[in-house]
Amino acid sequence: MSMSKREPVLSGPRTRNAPRAEPRLSVSLARSPAEVELAQRLRFKVFAEELGARLPGAGSGLDSDEFDDWCDHLIVRDDDRERAVGTYRILPPHRARALGRLYTETEFDLTRLAHLRPTMVEVGRACVHRDYRNGSALLMLWAGLAHYMKSNGYRHLIGCASAALGDGGRQAARLRDELLPHFVEAECRVFPRLPFPHGRLERAATVEVPPLIKGYLRLGARIGGEPAWDPDFNSADFMMWLSLDRIDLRYARRFDVLAGQAAPASA
């Protein structure tokens, strides 16, 4: 059963008087252009206003591009305050074929993954409002993604996960070194079109793995290869690949649990 655009797929506690530390959250696909705009406005708030990304059409207060019209948009909402607090966009394979390209291809050469495209979804523009980064909102996004993949029979997921370069790239360079054990085999590698020049940078003494990358790894994802440099977002981007055909049993079970948590209430 495909995820409906008309019903929530996962809900948080239903207590009306829940403390603000535990808001009532729900996740669903955008139902209308107006709800897609909610996601775009949240993306602008996080990427442009908070992180300083240079986005086209900044005067509109929306982060939008040519890929949005082809994607499904997963949105986490705070039901008490009636606002979007997390989002992820998903490009399924049949729409990627019609569009003729993936966003990830603007940053990486994906030639060695071409055989996966019939069952591969691309995800991107993941963000969570700063007031909701305690883990619950991101977990709900993961549950929604898991259900989306399982219910539609998709086997592979790719997307870019970023590390900020506000310190001149020292932490991102250290992160690249820390992630080397998670790189895929050579025959599946992707190649950055604009490589992040980590070889010329001093390493930070310590680094904390960004929550999004940590979440991917906890589900059994791998790193596609060396990171790309995205000057517009001032970030080093790692291509993440989650393959349900290649993860071991413990990760597969974790993914199934998430998908089950996100099953529509009416299913």
4-21 average pLDDT score: 44
pLDDT given for residue 249 in this prediction: 81
Residue 13 pLDDT level (bands cut at 50, 70, 90): very low
Is residue 35 predicted with pLDDT exceeding 50? yes
Under 8 Å between Cβ of 121 and 90: yes
DSSP state of 68: G
pLDDT given for residue 15 in this prediction: 39
Residue 244: name the closest of 146, 110, 114 by CA: 146
Q: What residue segments make up the domains of the chain, in order of their start?
A: 10-261
pLDDT given for residue 263 in this prediction: 61
- Sign of the CA dihedral with 18 first, then 21, 23, and 26 last: negative
pLDDT given for residue 247 in this prediction: 82
| Tokens of residue 110, six digits | 């994906």
54-78 average pLDDT score: 89
- pLDDT tens figures, 75-100: 999 988 888 999 999 999 999 999 99
- Percent above pLDDT 90 for the chain: 68
Where is pLDDT greater, at 58 or 203?
203
Query: How many Cα atoms sit within 13 Å of 30 on the Cβ side?
Result: 24
Of 43-52, 89-98, 118-127, 257-266, minimum mean pLDDT range: 257-266
Q: Which CATH superfamily is domain 10-261 in?
A: Gcn5-related N-acetyltransferase (GNAT) (3.40.630.30)
